[in-house]
Chains A and B, each alone.
Chain A
Amino acid sequence: MRDYLGMDDVGRGLSQDERYAGAAETFGAPLERLARGYEADPDLRADLLQEIHVALWRSFARFDGRCSERTWVYRVAHNVAATHMLRARRQRRRGLASLDQIALRADPAQPSPEATLSEREAMLRLNALIGGLAAPDRQVVLLYLEGLDAAAIGEVSGLTPRAVATKIHRLKAILARRFQQGGPDAG
């Protein structure tokens, strides 16, 4: 069996419904987190998640197994989410930045009075970081947080593994600064 369902399922001739149901079962949780990474508003997030699932169901009519199912699912989902983000951005006129630009900025969060960050505070900081990123870098960060390696992220995003590795390196530096014990700018 190839990565998750992949080529073998094409060979087995699964129906569009069966293939979608399998992918929704396997990737349900990552897709929920992906929607969370692109939309902070709970109602709009539910709409986005629904839109992703509908696009996924439609896409499986064309799935030919030339890439793994995981790559396919993430590509469709991120493309839907990026479109959603583009529409929302046009409405809100929010300034988004790349990882390089964020790395040069001071952390906007106030230093914690406690010695260590609480999980809740850390999660808020992580969401704030993701929410400030432009689409291509946001995709890399979300895929990294799902545990994909640079090669897999490159396959989904179309970036070279070298470019992905550079972005991950930059991200780790930002995370280290923001998540280290003793407040965001310690160390």
Chain B
Amino acid sequence: MPAEPPTPDPNLDPNLDPLRLWQSQTREPLPMTVADIRAHALSFEGKVRRNVLRETISSVLVVLIFGWYALQPWGWMMRSGSVLVILATLWVTWELRRRAARQRGLTDDAGALVDAYRAALTRSRDNIRSMAVWYLAPFVPGIVLIIAGRWLQSPLPHVPRGADHTIILLVSLIVALVFGVIWLLNQRRGDRIQRMIDELTP
């Protein structure tokens, strides 16, 4: 195995030896004590905990809203749809936590750069590309059931049937568009990450 020692190049002006130049730069020390560093690290962990808390609160709100829907005297389709949305919310929250726990950041890694870098990027790409399956799809049955229930069993009172159906179709279109845009943006993010992975491949 070649183990070339980093000796100065004989073709170079010895006064301009790059190693000497590089290592003789003036210092810019970090004005922090070990206690400061520890405090910063702990505040970062606090931020992660706050993010998890925010996600949990959002999930609880969704569960409360659709729980209220599920208890209303509407048709069975809308009530069942609400229960399915609650189940989907619980599933996605659990899945987000599971994936976050599994996805160690690159900055936490002491593995070799190329391997750690590629592994972190690959995990991100796979999570993003498969999000249609684990993030969007679980909500589809509940939402479809709610929309079908509104159409078939629970029309708005005092609204002509044609106008009511137009409202339902518009809302359905908006929901489909939101899902489509989320999916499209994530596919583009996945493609960008794939290009970064390709750059790492010799």
Identify the closest chain B residue to A56 (Cβ).
B37
Name the interface residues of B21-60: CB closer than 8 Å to any CB of A.
Answer: 21-23, 25, 27-30, 32, 34, 37-38, 40-41, 44
> What's the tally of chain A residues with a CB closer than 8 Å to chain B?
70
Inter-chain CA distance A143–B18, complex, in Å, is 12
Residue on A with the closest CB to B37? A57
Q: Could you mark each residue 96-126 of chain A with 1 if its beta carbon is under 8 Å from any beta carbon of chain B, else 0?
A: 0000000000000000000011010011001
User: How far, in whole Å, are A17 and B33 apart by their CA atoms in the complex?
Assistant: 10
Within the complex, which residue of A59, A116, A163, A169 is in contact with B110, where a contact is CB–CB below 8 Å?
A59
Q: Are the C-beta atoms of B19 and A75 separated by less than 8 Å? A: no
- Contact-residue size bin, chain B (C-beta under 8 Å from the other chain): 35 or more
Separation of A175 and B11 alpha carbons in the complex (Å):
9
Is the Cβ of A151 less than 8 Å from the Cβ of B1? yes
Q: A residues within 8 A CB of B114? A: 136, 157-159
A82 at the A/B interface (Cβ < 8 Å)? Answer: yes
**Contact: B6 with A119, CB < 8 Å?**
no
A56 to B116 Cα, complex, angstroms: 16
List residues of chain B with CB within 8 A of the CB of A123: 21, 25
Q: Using a CB–CB distance below 8 Å, which chain B residues touch chain A?
A: 1-6, 9, 11-13, 15-16, 18-19, 21-23, 25, 27-30, 32, 34, 37-38, 40-41, 44, 105-117, 196, 199-200, 202
Can you list 17 residue pairs at the A/B interface with Cβ under 8 Å? Answer: A32-B29, A36-B28, A53-B32, A59-B108, A75-B116, A76-B110, A78-B113, A83-B107, A119-B21, A144-B19, A147-B6, A151-B3, A156-B113, A158-B115, A159-B112, A161-B1, A180-B12
6 extra interchain contacts, Cβ-Cβ under 8 A, other than A156-B113, A165-B4? A117-B13, A123-B21, A172-B9, A176-B12, A180-B11, A180-B13
Residues of A within 8 A of B (CB): 17, 20-21, 24, 28-29, 32-33, 35-36, 42, 45-46, 49-51, 53-55, 57-59, 62-63, 72, 75-76, 78-80, 82-83, 86, 116-117, 119, 122-123, 126, 134-136, 139, 144-151, 155-159, 161-165, 168-169, 172, 175-176, 179-181, 187
